Structure 1
């Protein structure tokens, strides 16, 4: 008698489980297909949050629309300035290198011919002949380089399209974001909306403080690098300083990567003196940055543990590349704030309290006080 109801219940369970699994798999696949625009939206959201501080500051003296426009124009000038500083010296020196390669090859041949040991090796392996052939063929290889640059240009166009799309998203979020947030909070019960608003405000403050601190840290790294390289007489001091500042934006590992690249350049400038001086300076500066500057930014602005910073950078870099690594720390800070406020809300709800985020419960005065 009970066999039919049991079979019906089992069939319903199997059907429900199957539908749930299919829906989850389809949802994950959809997220995978949309990973690029979703990533752009996340990047645009955090950039907009970081720029909300300057926009609010300028809004005291002008309309919000003009404040947003001025802020976005200032942001656009940054990559233009970087390109203007970095690209012309590289193009100029690259052209000079191509022109001087035959001269370098002849000097190498003369050096080998004047050294008996190298001359014996050259007679066996014909090193100078191969170097001379490579130098003579270099102009004909410009076509291959042009093809490589063409493929690189396609990637640059795609990157420019992504940057323009993110820029437009940032403009929309800055212009309409506060109204969207107020509309969503208005749909919540009064107390929950107030708490969510306070949490979002704290998240925005943490992101803005981190971005401001990171930019200041990168600026200091770039300026000090430029001063040291100028004193040493290293070529490309300005482009290398800009590159160091950009790498310094990547938490934990960016400064080391930039220092290594600059160190390689010093090897070709005046080895070993300039290289030794640069290595000593890089070690000293990184100790100052890691133990004095960066902890202030991470602990005071976002309060994320260094291990959490490393893990967040690895996850962000794996998911979104360099932009993900740059945004990893503010994202981790936002998640940490959201989880803490949710935990406090659960604890207060269990205790029958309703306190604003970060507020301490009132303490009854002890007997005999006053």
Structure 2
């Protein structure tokens, strides 16, 4: 005996599905409009993003000076000038030599890919050239574009490579004002918002700031340590282009997982072309050891609170960001995903049912008699 469908329940399910579909479509339209507005305002948004990133790195020193009695304006001025001097020194001592060797770095990577292609086509693999030609040609084009873009980003400066000198100047001024007036922003924001938003938005903003600061500072320190240790290993083996490879390792650290693989592949290919297979394998071993020490020792020590993102989410975010906005998207993908996670976790906290209050157990009749 087969059960018949209830027309009332079917109509109710269809109406509910239609309502959910319309609501989801409205959300997607709002997201699309937001992304469109973001693209239109990108010349303003990009200096703001760069200024925030720079502020997260320079705020600890500013906070230290303010705790020692320095006026906010004086502390912000001193830190901004110090940052400017350090940046100019990096440009003079590192960026200029890297710029002069960027072409050699790209050519070496392409030669290394070609050598791997020849090795794969011979024994013992004997892979047909027609099977690997397309993959290696695509890899060559990808490596050339990525290496050129990342080296260019280091040479020109993160704030100027995409929007010119004006972006760098705006980011620097924004950093100064963030350092000077940052602690007063959340109270001011709370006074401007109505109702419950005056409480919710500052809380989310504070959590997002803490997450962003932890990510930028920890990745910068980890990237610096990786660049130093791997650079020392390359120098000891006599691998050429040590400075560009070290700088590439530092920049790649801001793209978790994918960045380390990319920088390691470039270093191994350069060693393979210049020093041969043995040194290339030694470079690979050095990179693996450094990455293991970083993942199992340095990151747990430096990142006291993680981003709360699964490795699969990081990979998907980096892939999506890179496909949408190239190198910029790859650099911003993980911080954006972490900020989205902050907002989502706060919404879950607010929408979750409060835990049930357990009532004290009433004494049993026998216990009352015995007492």
Assess same fold via TM > 0.5.
yes
Q: Which position in structure 1 is the counterpart of 2:49?
A: 42
Mapped contact 1:85–1:239 kept (Cα < 8 A): no
Q: What displacement does 1:268 show?
A: 4.0
Matched, 1:184 2:189: yes
CA distance in structure 1 between the aligned counterparts of 2:271 and 2:73, rounded to whole angstroms: 47
* Correspondence for 1:276 among 268, 276, 281: 281
Mapped contact 2:227–2:249 kept (Cα < 8 A): yes
* Correspondence for 2:238 among 228, 233, 236: 233
Partner SS for 2:305: helix
Q: Which position in structure 2 is the counterpart of 1:69?
A: 77
RMSD across aligned positions (CA) = 4.0
Runs ≥4 in structure 1, deviation > 6 angstroms? Answer: 23-28, 91-96, 295-299, 360-368
TM-score by length of 1: 0.62
CA distance in structure 2 between the aligned counterparts of 1:248 and 1:291, rounded to whole angstroms: 16
Q: Which position in structure 2 is the counterpart of 1:221?
A: 226
* Correspondence for 2:290 among 285, 292, 316: 285
Q: Which position in structure 2 is the counterpart of 1:57?
A: 64
Q: What displacement does 1:74 show?
A: 3.9
Tell which structure's C-alpha radius of gyration is larger.
1
Mapped contact 1:240–1:262 kept (Cα < 8 A): yes
Q: What displacement does 1:179 show?
A: 3.1
CA distance in structure 2 between the aligned counterparts of 1:27 and 1:94, rounded to whole angstroms: 37
Matched, 1:246 2:254: no
Matched, 1:159 2:167: no
Matched, 1:80 2:88: yes
CA distance in structure 1 between the aligned counterparts of 2:101 and 2:35, rounded to whole angstroms: 49
Q: How many residues align?
A: 282
Matched, 1:313 2:318: yes
Partner SS for 1:251: coil
Q: What displacement does 1:236 show?
A: 3.7
Q: What displacement does 1:307 show?
A: 1.9
Q: What displacement does 1:295 show?
A: 6.8
Cα offsets for 1:207-244 (capped at 9, x unmatched): 21222211121011011112212221223433432321
CA 270–53 in structure 1, closer or farther in 2 if over 3 Å, else same: same
CA distance in structure 2 between the aligned counterparts of 1:278 and 1:200, rounded to whole angstroms: 43
Mapped contact 1:82–1:242 kept (Cα < 8 A): no
CA 54–332 in structure 1, closer or farther in 2 if over 3 Å, else same: farther
Q: Which runs of 5+ in 2 are unaligned?
A: 1-25, 105-151, 364-371
Q: Which position in structure 1 is the counterpart of 2:109?
A: none
CA distance in structure 2 between the aligned counterparts of 1:56 and 1:240, rounded to whole angstroms: 34
CA distance in structure 2 between the aligned counterparts of 1:290 and 1:35, rounded to whole angstroms: 34
Matched, 1:209 2:209: no
Mapped contact 2:101–2:244 kept (Cα < 8 A): no
Q: Which position in structure 1 is the counterpart of 2:126?
A: none
TM-score by length of 2: 0.62
Q: What displacement does 1:284 show?
A: 3.2
Mapped contact 2:318–2:330 kept (Cα < 8 A): yes
Q: How does 1:316-355 map to 2 (within 5 A)?
A: 316-347=321-352
Q: Which position in structure 2 is the counterpart of 1:103?
A: none
Q: What displacement does 1:59 show?
A: 1.2
Q: What displacement does 1:171 show?
A: 2.3
